[in-house]
Amino acid sequence: MKKFQYLALLLAAFMTISCENDDNGRDVIIDWAPLELFVYLSDADGNNLLDPEYEYAYDSANIVLTYEGKEYEVINYLTPNEPQVKPMEYLAVFDAPYICHDTKGVARLTIGEWGRNEKWDMATVDVAWGDGTTDTFAFSHDFTYNPEYRNDADNGWGYTFTTQYYLNGESHDGCMYYLVK
């Protein structure tokens, strides 16, 4: 029984020491939101061509995306109430594009993901819409890190991100694209 008491006492002492160290200099684990591209597509009258409820919407089975030499089809529609958030602390991995609804219920094409803590030089995605037209989406992404601020939320935990977006070879403002066909 004495051995058990000594072991319990030793374990309690170890846990106390460990807890004290947690408050002094422990690094924060950061899970940056991945880079994604969001494409809204409408006709000249403002009808959403990605909304399956619209009778003249593009057929998702005919939309083909090409990234790094590989072709992807739009694989599914997500309903407005279906969860679209992934759990924290996972690696961003590029996967098949999908059509989902934004927070306002508007259907959009989501393309990605790319890791924000990686550098990307003109990552290019071609989307063939199935109507004979193709659009090219691209971005370059860079970051710097200053270890002096590694635990400082006010200074981005030491990270500074820079991302430039492009549409059909022209500079574009942000990751949301509003196209009219």
Burial (Cβ within 10 Å: 0-12, 13-18, ≥19) of residue 93: exposed
Tokens of 72: 């992807």
pTM: 0.79
Give the mean model confidence (pLDDT) for residues 71-75.
Answer: 90
pLDDT, tens digit, 9 for 90 and up, residues 95-133: 889 999 898 999 999 999 999 989 999 999 999 999 999
Cβ atoms of residues 97 and 72 within 8 Å: yes
C-alpha span between 44 and 34 (Å, rounded): 32
Is the bond preceding residue 68 a cis peptide, omega within 30 degrees? no
User: In sequence order, what are the residues at sequence separation of 6 or more whose Cβ sits closer than 8 angstroms to the Cβ of residue 25?
Assistant: 151
pLDDT, tens digit, 9 for 90 and up, residues 46-66: 999 999 889 999 999 999 999
Cα–Cα distances (Å) from 124 to 18, 43, 59, 114, in that order, read 47, 25, 23, 12
Give the mean model confidence (pLDDT) for residues 59-81.
Answer: 85
